Amino acid sequence: MTFGYFDDENKEYVITRPDTPLPWINYLGCQDYFGIISNTAGGYSFYRDARLRRITRYRYNNVPFDLGGRYIYLRDDESGEFWSPSWQPTRHDLENYTCRHGMGYTLIGSRYNGIAAHTNYFVPLDENLEIWQLTITNQRSKRASLSVFSSIEFCLWDAQDDATNFQRNFSIGQVEVEDGVIYHKTEYRERRDHFAYFACSGKVEAFDTQRDAFVGPYRSWDKPVALERGRLANSVAHGWAPIGAHQVKAELAPGETRQIIFVLGYHENPRDQKFDPPDSQILNKRTVKPVIAKYLDFAHVDAAFQNLRRYWNGLLGILQVDTPDVHTNRMVNIWNAYQCMATFNMSRSASFYESGIGRGLGFRDSNQDLLGFVHMVPARARERILDLAATQLPTGGAYHQYQPLTKRGNNDVGGNFNDDPHWLILGVAAYLKETGDWGILDEPVPYDNHPGSEQPLYEHLERSFKYTLDRLGPHGLPLIGRADWNDCLNLNCFSDTPGQSFQTTTNKDGKVAESVFIAGLFVLAGRELADITQRRGLTEEAKDYLAQVAKMEDTIRQHGWDGEWFLRAYDDFGRKIGSKECLEGKIFIETQGFCVLTDIGLDDGLAVKSMESVSKYLATEHGIILQQPAYSRYYLELGEISSYPPGYKENAGIFCHNNPWVMIAETRVGNGDRAHDYYSRINPSAREPISDLHRCEPYVYAQMIAGRDAPTYGEAKNSWLTGTAAWNYYAITQWILGIRTSYDGLQISPVIPKSWRGFNATRIFRGVTYHITIERAGEGNHVALKVDGVPIKGDTVPPPGDGRKEVSVKGALT
Ligand code: BGC
Ligand code: NOJ
Q: How far is the CA of 726 from the centre of ligand 1 (A)?
A: 18
CA angle (413, 416, 419) in 5-degree steps:
115
The residue nearest atom 10 of ligand 1, judged by CA position, is 487
Tell me the CA distances in angstroms from 24 to 20, 717, 720, one per residue in order: 7, 12, 10
The residue nearest atom 2 of ligand 1, judged by CA position, is 487
SS3 139: coil
For strand 401-402 and strand 361-362, is the pairing parallel, antiparallel, or unpaired? antiparallel
Contact 102, 21 (CB under 8 A): no
Q: What is the mean pLDDT of residues 259-267?
A: 98
Q: What is the mean pLDDT of residues 568-591?
A: 98
Ligand number nearest to the C-alpha of 485: 2
Helix 378-390 × helix 420-435 angle, to 10°? 150
For strand 783-787 and strand 806-813, is the pairing parallel, antiparallel, or unpaired? antiparallel
Q: Find out whether the peptide bond into 277 is cis, omega within 30 degrees of 0.
A: yes
Radius of gyration of the chain measured on its C-alpha atoms: 28
The predicted pLDDT at position 796 comes to 98
Tens of pLDDT, residues 59-118: 989 999 999 999 999 999 999 999 999 999 999 999 999 999 999 999 999 999 999 999
For strand 806-813 and strand 768-776, is the pairing parallel, antiparallel, or unpaired? parallel
Q: How far apart are CA 601 and CA 587, in angstroms?
A: 17
Q: Find out whether the peptide bond into 421 is cis, omega within 30 degrees of 0.
A: no
Contact 27, 342 (CB under 8 A): yes
With 0-12 / 13-18 / 19 or more C-beta atoms within 10 angstroms meaning exposed / middle / buried, residue 455 is: middle
Tens of pLDDT, residues 431-480: 999 999 999 999 999 999 999 999 999 999 999 999 999 999 999 999 99
CB neighbour list of residue 657: distance below 8 Å, 6 or more residues apart = 703, 722, 723, 724, 727
Determine if ligand 1 sits within 6 Å of the CB of residue 487: yes
The predicted pLDDT at position 733 comes to 99
> Which residues partner with 106 through β-bridges?
101, 121
Determine if ligand 2 sits within 6 Å of the CB of residue 348: yes
Contact 204, 245 (CB under 8 A): no
The predicted pLDDT at position 763 comes to 98
Q: How far is the CA of 675 from the centre of ligand 2 (A)?
A: 23
Q: What is the mean pLDDT of residues 682-708?
A: 98
* 487 part of the active site: yes
The predicted pLDDT at position 589 comes to 99
Q: How far apart are CA 84 and CA 78, in angstroms?
A: 17
With 0-12 / 13-18 / 19 or more C-beta atoms within 10 angstroms meaning exposed / middle / buried, residue 73 is: buried
How much is the mean pLDDT over the chain? Answer: 97
Determine if ligand 2 sits within 6 Å of the CB of residue 486: yes
Tens of pLDDT, residues 340-377: 999 999 988 899 999 988 767 899 999 999 999 999 99
Q: What is the mean pLDDT of residues 741-756?
A: 98
Phi, psi of 39, deg, nearest 5: -70, -5
SS3 290: helix
pLDDT at residue 404 is higher than 80: no
Residues 590-622, buried b or exposed e (16+ Cβ, 10 A)?
bbbbbbbbbbbbbeeebbbbbbebbbebbbeeb
Short-list 428, 324, 290, 303, CA closest to 366: 428
CB neighbour list of residue 129: distance below 8 Å, 6 or more residues apart = 33, 123, 263, 264, 265, 266, 291, 295
User: Which pLDDT band, with edges at 50, 70 and 90, does 711 fall under?
Assistant: very high
pLDDT at residue 751 is higher than 80: yes
Tell me the CA distances in angstroms from 602 to 252, 596, 672, one per residue in order: 72, 7, 16
AA letter at 361: L
Alpha helices in 117-249 (DSSP H): 159-162, 166-169, 211-215, 225-229
User: Which is more confident, 507 or 567?
Assistant: 567
Share of the chain above pLDDT 90, in %: 96
CA angle (751, 330, 428) in 5-degree steps:
60
Determine if ligand 2 sits within 6 Å of the CB of residue 485: yes
Determine if ligand 2 sits within 6 Å of the CB of residue 365: yes
Tell me the CA distances in angstroms from 520 to 301, 551, 605, one per residue in order: 51, 12, 17
Neighbours of 789 (CB within 10 A): 7
Phi, psi of 317, deg, nearest 5: -65, -10
The predicted pLDDT at position 413 comes to 81
CB neighbour list of residue 236: distance below 8 Å, 6 or more residues apart = 175, 177, 209, 210
The predicted pLDDT at position 226 comes to 98
Determine if ligand 2 sits within 6 Å of the CB of residue 644: no
Which of 489, 503, 654 has the most ligand 1 atoms within 8 A of CB, as the residue to mutate?
503
Contact 368, 723 (CB under 8 A): yes
What residue ranges in 128-271 does DSSP mark as E strands? Answer: 129-138, 144-157, 175-178, 181-184, 194-200, 204-210, 242-252, 257-268
In this structure, what DSSP letter does residue 804 have? -
**Looking at ligand 1, which atom is closest to the CA of residue 650?**
8
Tens of pLDDT, residues 601-627: 999 999 999 999 999 999 999 999 999
The predicted pLDDT at position 604 comes to 96
Ligand number nearest to the C-alpha of 486: 2
User: Which pLDDT band, with edges at 50, 70 and 90, does 596 fall under?
Assistant: very high
User: Which pLDDT band, with edges at 50, 70 and 90, does 161 fall under?
Assistant: very high
Which of 357, 482, 488 has the most ligand 1 atoms within 8 A of CB, as the residue to mutate?
488
Q: How far apart are CA 323 and CA 338, in angstroms?
A: 19
Contact 150, 72 (CB under 8 A): yes
Contact 665, 658 (CB under 8 A): no
Give the DSSP letter string of 146-171.
EEEEEEEEEEEE-HHHHTT-HHHHTT
Sign of CA dihedral 28, 29, 35, 36: positive
**Looking at ligand 2, which atom is closest to the CA of residue 365?**
5
Tell me the CA distances in angstroms from 118 to 9, 73, 112, 136, one per residue in order: 20, 12, 11, 7
**Looking at ligand 1, which atom is closest to the CA of residue 348?**
5
Tens of pLDDT, residues 679-690: 999 999 999 999
**In three state form, how does the secondary structure of 415-469 look?**
CCECCHHHHHHHHHHHHHHHHCCHHHHHCEECCCCCCCCCEEHHHHHHHHHHHHH
Give the DSSP letter string of 667-719.
HHTT-HHHHHHHHHHH-TTTTGGGHHHH-S-TTS-EEEE--TTSTTTT-EEEE
pLDDT at residue 719 is higher than 90: yes
Q: How far is the CA of 171 from the centre of ligand 1 (A)?
A: 37
Q: How far apart are CA 56 and CA 722, in angstroms?
A: 24
Q: Find out whether the peptide bond into 64 is cis, omega within 30 degrees of 0.
A: yes
Phi, psi of 763, deg, nearest 5: -135, 125
In this structure, what DSSP letter does residue 332 have? I
Determine if ligand 1 sits within 6 Å of the CB of residue 649: yes
Q: How far is the CA of 44 from the centre of ligand 2 (A)?
A: 25
The predicted pLDDT at position 60 comes to 87
The predicted pLDDT at position 407 comes to 84
Tens of pLDDT, residues 758-799: 999 999 999 999 999 999 999 999 999 999 999 999 999 999
pLDDT at residue 175 is higher than 90: yes
The two most distant CA atoms of the chain are separated, in Å, by: 85
Determine if ligand 1 sits within 6 Å of the CB of residue 642: no
Short-list 46, 117, 63, CA closest to 345: 46
The predicted pLDDT at position 357 comes to 87
The predicted pLDDT at position 640 comes to 98
Determine if ligand 1 sits within 6 Å of the CB of residue 783: no
The predicted pLDDT at position 502 comes to 93
User: Which pLDDT band, with edges at 50, 70 and 90, does 408 fall under?
Assistant: confident
Determine if ligand 1 sits within 6 Å of the CB of residue 66: no
Contact 738, 750 (CB under 8 A): yes
pLDDT at residue 393 is higher than 80: yes
The residue nearest atom 4 of ligand 1, judged by CA position, is 487
SS3 624: strand
User: Which residue out of 487, 562, 572, 795 is catalytically annotated?
Assistant: 487
The dihedral region occupied by 68, where left means phi > 0, alpha psi between -120 and 50, and beta the remainder, is: left
Tell me the CA distances in angstroms from 637 to 63, 473, 644, 709, one per residue in order: 38, 17, 14, 22
Sign of CA dihedral 405, 407, 412, 413: positive
The predicted pLDDT at position 73 comes to 98
Q: How far is the CA of 487 from the centre of ligand 1 (A)?
A: 6
pLDDT at residue 405 is higher than 80: no
Q: What is the mean pLDDT of residues 213-219?
A: 97
Tens of pLDDT, residues 621-648: 999 999 999 999 999 999 999 999 999 9
Determine if ligand 2 sits within 6 Å of the CB of residue 487: yes
Which of 426, 484, 487, 590 has the most ligand 2 atoms within 8 A of CB, as the residue to mutate?
487
The predicted pLDDT at position 371 comes to 97
Contact 548, 448 (CB under 8 A): no
